[in-house]
Chains A and B, each alone.
Chain A
Amino acid sequence: AQSVTQLDSQVPVFEEAPVELRCNYSSSVSVYLFWYVQYPNQGLQLLLKYLSGSTLVKGINGFEAEFNKSQTSFHLRKPSVHISDTAEYFCAVSHNTNAGKSTFGDGTTLTVKP
């Protein structure tokens, strides 16, 4: 079984400030890790993913995440946020098999204030 915990349900920040959205997972086997973003009234879209290799993963819109196996974490970061980054962010984990399903966290609402 696998599970995902997003440690913050809401994160308010000011524009141009750095931000970190935290995600911890648990799994008994090797995993793939994902961050998705959901803008209002839209479906989820992939921000970045970790499958293997370098533990620092870069995604779209200037976001990056670091896979930390010892701490079972996959925190999302951005050095300087924009108003347009206001959205809900979901961390997800799946077993490293193409037939499996993903388990999603409860989401973190990022609100960027001017």
Chain B
Amino acid sequence: DAGVIQSPRHEVTEMGQEVTLRCKPISGHNSLFWYRQTMMRGLELLIYFNNNVPIDDSGMPEDRFSAKMPNASFSTLKIQPSEPRDSAVYFCASRPNYGNEQFFGPGTRLTVL
């Protein structure tokens, strides 16, 4: 199994630009999570989906952030417009429906100049 796949691995953009991060969960997993990790705030849950439906988006910082899961094998996290304070590593994780552990992707390192 290829594990959770995230793209791109690195993204450098300028303030005000739109950024789209992508995630392919492990096949058969029915929950998907988006996290943000920074030195200052540690690991933060942004949003999670169960069976493609957003269950809890209380961690989404503001309206500039949006996430979608159009099908069981793909999810996106979009930031529009991006700001320097959005610079962080963004992780996607998926979880099978029979267990409770999460499987993390390698992360996308976002730098907003």
Residues of chain A having any CB pair with chain B under 8 Å? 32, 34, 36, 42-46, 49, 51, 90, 94, 96, 98-102, 104, 106-107
Q: How far is the CB of A103 from chain B (nearest CB, A)?
A: 8
**Most chain A C-beta atoms within 10 Å of own C-beta, residue among B42, B93, B100, B105:** B100
Q: Which residues of B contact A (CB under 8 A)?
A: 4, 31, 33, 42-43, 45, 48, 50, 55-56, 91, 93, 97-107
Question: Judging by beta carbons under 8 Å apart, are B101 and A46 in contact?
Answer: yes
Describe B's contact surface by its main secondary structure.
strand
- Given known A-B contacts A43-B91, A90-B43, A107-B42, A102 and B98 have beta carbons under 8 A apart: no
**Complex contacts, B103 vs chain A, CB 8 Å:** 46
Once A104-B43, A107-B43 are accepted as A-B contacts, the answer to whether A44 and B101 lie under 8 Å apart by CB is no
Q: Which residues of A contact B93 (CB under 8 A)?
A: 43-44
Residues of A within 8 A of B97 (CB): 98
CA distance A87 to B99 in the complex (A): 25
Q: CB distance A101 to B56 under 8 Å?
A: yes
Given known contacts A43-B105, A43-B106, A107-B43, is B100 in contact with A98 (CB within 8 Å)? yes
Verify A42–B45 contact, CB threshold 8 A: no
Shortest Cβ distance from residue A19 to the other chain B in the assembled complex, whole angstroms: 21
Residues on B with C-beta less than 8 A from A44 are: 43, 91, 93, 102, 104
From the candidates B50, B91, B98, B107, name the one contacting A99 in the complex (CB within 8 A): B50
